[in-house]
Amino acid sequence: MDLKLDRRVAVVTGASKGIGLAVTRTLLEEGARVVAASRTGSPELDALACADLLHVPVDLMDREAPAHVIAEAVRVFGGLDVLVNNAGGPPPGVTLPRSSFVDASDAEWEAVFQFNLFAVVRAIRAAIPAMLERGGGSIVNVSSGNARQPSPINVDYGAAKAGMNNLTKVLSEEFGPKGIRVNTVSPGPVRTAWWTEEGRVADTLAAQAGTDRDTVMDRLVPEMMGLSTGRLAEPQEVADVVVLLASPRSASTTGAEFAVDSGFLKGL
């Protein structure tokens, strides 16, 4: 199916690995021109190098960084049609999951909100004028199942993502009549670096359970989180939904939330 993304200009944050990398790759395959924003590059992102890909190294904790990324998209590719706010998770200096709500300090709460919510607000604020100049666009915010299924071990992260979901609804109402669609994709556990890298979530849970990381990801997490499919999602499975929402093929979809979570969320 032609997603009608040929020559469209997209910004993807957190683009060097995981879901962001998969979104970047898929947009390029669909003919889009992509500005990939991340703190650093990666061999996988480098492998995508082409005339239609621009990597902008930025730290989204810097208040000026989101606007800089949008400005680069306009400068290099002439405008902006799609914004994918994918960057998220624990910012530098913050470790998730926690053992309890009381483990998170004020500084950690502020850092998590800066990275997971305020950077998104700043990116959207910068993107809207550029999209309006093109007659509209699509914003896709990558949230989390924890926005609607609260967890005491990720309480600050879940609260920030819940704010993102609320923001999506508000923006879809205000800017839908002006041609800008805003939607949310909420992954559950996904086989990304947050889980798989040494010292990250899988290792933390493995140490607590007295087992190994493969057992955690293949058996314990699917059981503990009640995953209907029995497995963690793959980044590409999330990316496919993100890119469809970015596409004009989803022209009548706005203010919606799509769970790509292996059946994690059970509520209506």
pLDDT at position 207: 87
Q: Is the pLDDT of residue 57 over 90?
A: yes
Q: Is the pLDDT of residue 193 over 90?
A: no
Other C-beta atoms lying within 10 Å of the C-beta of residue 101: 11
- Region of poorest pLDDT, from 81-85, 161-165, 168-172, 200-204: 200-204
Assigned token pair, 220: 């314990």
Higher pLDDT, 21 or 96: 21
Q: Is the pLDDT of residue 167 over 90?
A: yes
Q: What is the average per-residue pLDDT within 162-173?
A: 98
For the range 126-131, what are the long-range contacts, defined as Cβ-Cβ under 8 Å and sequence gap of 24 or more? 126/66, 126/67, 126/69, 126/70, 126/71, 127/11, 127/70, 127/80, 127/83, 128/175, 128/180, 130/70, 130/73, 130/74, 130/79, 130/80, 131/80, 131/81, 131/83, 131/179, 131/180
Query: Does the predicted TM-score (pTM) go above 0.75?
Result: yes
pLDDT at position 38: 98
Round the CA-based radius of gyration of the chain to a whole number and report it.
18
pLDDT at position 246: 98
pLDDT at position 98: 83
Confidence of residue 115 (pLDDT cuts 50, 70, 90): very high
Instruction: Provide the phi-psi class of 234: left if phi over 0, else alpha when psi is between -120 and 50, else beta.
Output: beta
Q: What is the mean pLDDT of the chain?
A: 95
Q: Taking a C-beta distance cutoff of 8 angstroms, is the pair 42, 109 a contact?
A: no
Higher pLDDT, 206 or 56: 56
Examine the residue annotation and report whether 233 is marked as an active-site residue of this protein: no
Which percentage of the chain shows pLDDT scores above 70?
Answer: 100
Angstrom distance (rounded) from CA 32 to CA 85: 17
Angstrom distance (rounded) from CA 238 to CA 260: 6
Query: Which of 157, 194, 258, 264 is the catalytic position?
Result: 157
Domain 9-188+235-260: which topology? Rossmann fold (3.40.50)
Q: Where are the domains of the chain?
A: 9-188+235-260, 192-232
pLDDT at position 229: 97
Q: Taking a C-beta distance cutoff of 8 angstroms, is the pair 164, 184 a contact?
A: yes
